């Protein structure tokens, strides 16, 4: 499974969704997907597009739209700021993931989505952030919230690694991104791989705070 937590646009309490009053969302962040400083920075390209989901932009968009349209009836009335989604190919898990993303979209427009992904890669023994640059998707690039990523690493006090290469072959986060790009084209992400270790719970609590 893959978990995510979002940060909403707007720093004042009056500009946030009502669920903020219940402490269910995080604080503000800068808008836009342009990489910081306008520089040409590294970008992780998709590795399972064409296998787990369509690589063609038109086909990927069509499937996302269809899955989200089918999911609308399942959206709860009450908003929320975090969710858990599966990470298999869309044929098997896309409908379930779409229900969760549709519910998030009904709750507001996040500025940043922090994605805590499952780990299938050998050698990733502690939570690992992709802290800079962008991730490519068939629907366009999604920029990393580099400031928030740096804060998470700093507050992790040695529990969280900054290893871009560790994300090279992992699919659990990648398969979620076309949904995020379609629903929230200006949102940034913080990709965080979390293996099933003793640090996992502590890192989840840190990110939520």
Q: Report the Cα–Cα distance between both ends of the chain, in Å, rounded.
A: 21
Residue 45 in this model has a pLDDT that exceeds 50: yes
% the chain with pLDDT above 70: 77
The residue extents of the domains of the chain are 2-208
Arithmetic mean of pLDDT, 156-166: 81
Site of tokens 């922090």: 114
| Superfamily designation of domain 2-208 | LigB-like (3.40.830.10)
Digit-coded pLDDT (tens) for 91-131: 999 999 999 899 888 888 999 999 998 877 777 777 888 99
| Predicted structure pTM score | 0.78
């Amino acid at each position: 499974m893959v978990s995510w937590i979002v940060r909403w646009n707007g720093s004042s309490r009056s500009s946030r969704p009502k669920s903020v009053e219940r402490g269910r969302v995080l604080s503000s962040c800068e808008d836009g997907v342009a990489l910081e400083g306008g520089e040409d920075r590294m970008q992780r390209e998709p590795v399972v597009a064409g296998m787990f989901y369509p690589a063609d932009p038109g086909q990927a968009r069509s499937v996302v739209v269809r899955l989200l349209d089918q999911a609308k009836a399942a959206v709860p009335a009450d908003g929320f700021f975090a969710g858990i989604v599966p990470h298999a190919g869309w044929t098997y898990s896309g409908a379930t993931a779409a229900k969760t993303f549709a519910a998030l979209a009904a709750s507001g427009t996040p500025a940043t989505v922090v994605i805590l992904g499952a780990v299938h890669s050998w050698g990733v023994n502690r939570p690992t952030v992709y802290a800079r640059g962008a991730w490519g998707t068939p629907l366009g690039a999604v920029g990393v919230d580099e400031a928030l990523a740096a804060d998470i690493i700093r507050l992790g006090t040695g529990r969280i690694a900054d290893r871009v290469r560790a994300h090279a072959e992992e699919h659990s986060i990648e398969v979620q991104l076309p949904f995020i790009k379609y629903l929230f084209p200006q949102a940034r992400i913080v990709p965080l791989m979390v293996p099933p270790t003793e640090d996992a719970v502590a890192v989840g609590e840190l990110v939520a705070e």
